[in-house]
Structure 1
Amino acid sequence: MVNKSEVGIVLMNLGSPDSTSVPDVKRYLMEFLMDKRVIDYSWLMRKLLVGGVIVPRRAPKSAEAYQSIWWEEGSPLIVLTKQLQKAVQHDMEVPVEIAMRYGNPTPEAAYDKLLQDNPNLKEVILLPLYPHYAMSSYETAAEYAKEIYRKKKYKFKLSVIPPFYDEPDYINAIAESMRPYLQHENDYDYVLFSYHGVPVRHIKKGDITGKHCLQVNDCCHVKSPAHEFCYRHQVTITAELVAEKLGLPKDKWGISFQSRLGKEEWIQPYTAARFEQLPQEGKKKLLVVCPAFVSDCLETLEEIAVEGKHSFISSGGDSFTMIPCLNVHPLWVKAIVKYCSQIIAD
Structure 2
Amino acid sequence: MGEKNGVLLIQLGTPDSPKISDVRKYLSEFLNDERVIDIPWLARKILVNLIIVPFRAPKSAKIYRELWTEKGSPLLFYSESLKKKVQNVLPDNYDVYLAMRYQNPSMESVLAQMKKKQYDEIIIFPLFPQYASATSGSAIEKAVGIIKNWWVIPQLKIVSHFYEDENFINSFVKRASKFNLDEYDHVLFSYHGLPNRQVDKVHEDGKPCSDHDCELKITEENKFCYKAQCYATTRLISERLNIPESKLTVCFQSRLNKDWLEPFTDKTLIKLAESGIKKVLVFSPAFVADCLETLIEIGSEYQSLFKSHGGEKVQLVESLNDNDDWVDGLAKIILSK
Aligned-partner Cα distance in 1 for 2:168–2:214: 24
Aligned-partner Cα distance in 2 for 1:169–1:111: 27
Offset at 1:153?
Answer: 4.1
1:169-208 aligned within 5 A: 169-181=167-179, 183=180, 185=182, 187-208=183-204
Offset at 1:264?
Answer: 4.6
Q: Which amino acid aligns with 1:132?
A: Q
- 1:179-225 CA-to-partner distances (Å, cap 9, x unmatched) read 211x351x211111100000111111121232362124x34436543
Q: Judge conservation of contact 1:97–1:110 (CA < 8 Å) in 2.
A: yes
Alignment pair present for 1:315 and 2:309: yes
Alignment pair present for 1:284 and 2:284: no
State the match for 1:273 in structure 2: 267
Q: Which amino acid aligns with 2:230?
A: V
Q: Judge conservation of contact 2:191–2:284 (CA < 8 Å) in 1.
A: yes
Offset at 1:115?
Answer: 4.1
How many equivalent residue pairs? 335
State the match for 2:66 in structure 1: 68
Give ranges in structure 1 of 5+ residues lacking alignment.
none
- 1:122-152 CA-to-partner distances (Å, cap 9, x unmatched) read 1111110000011111111111111111134
Offset at 1:279?
Answer: 1.3
Task: Choose which of 286, 297, 301 in structure 2 pairs with 1:303.
Answer: 297
1:1-346 aligned within 5 A: 3-4=2-3, 6-92=4-90, 93=92, 94-116=94-116, 118=117, 120-181=118-179, 183=180, 185=182, 187-211=183-207, 213-216=209-212, 218-221=213-216, 224-261=219-256, 263-343=257-337
Identity of aligned residues (%): 39
Q: Which amino acid aligns with 2:167?
A: D
Aligned-partner Cα distance in 1 for 2:151–2:23: 31
Question: TM-score scaled to structure 1, two decimals?
Answer: 0.93
Q: Which amino acid aligns with 1:256?
A: C
Q: Which amino acid aligns with 2:324?
A: P
Give ranges in structure 2 of 5+ residues lacking alignment.
none
Question: TM-score scaled to structure 2, two decimals?
Answer: 0.95
Give 3-state SS (helix, strand or coil) of 1:208's partner.
Answer: coil
Q: Which amino acid aligns with 1:268?
A: E
Aligned-partner Cα distance in 2 for 1:223–1:253: 19
- 1:214-271 CA-to-partner distances (Å, cap 9, x unmatched) read 124x34436543322200100001001100000012222111100111x351010001
Aligned-partner Cα distance in 2 for 1:191–1:153: 51
Give 3-state SS (helix, strand or coil) of 2:153's partner.
Answer: coil
Indicate the RMSD between aligned Cα atoms, in angstroms: 1.6
Give 3-state SS (helix, strand or coil) of 1:234's partner.
Answer: helix
Give 3-state SS (helix, strand or coil) of 1:221's partner.
Answer: coil
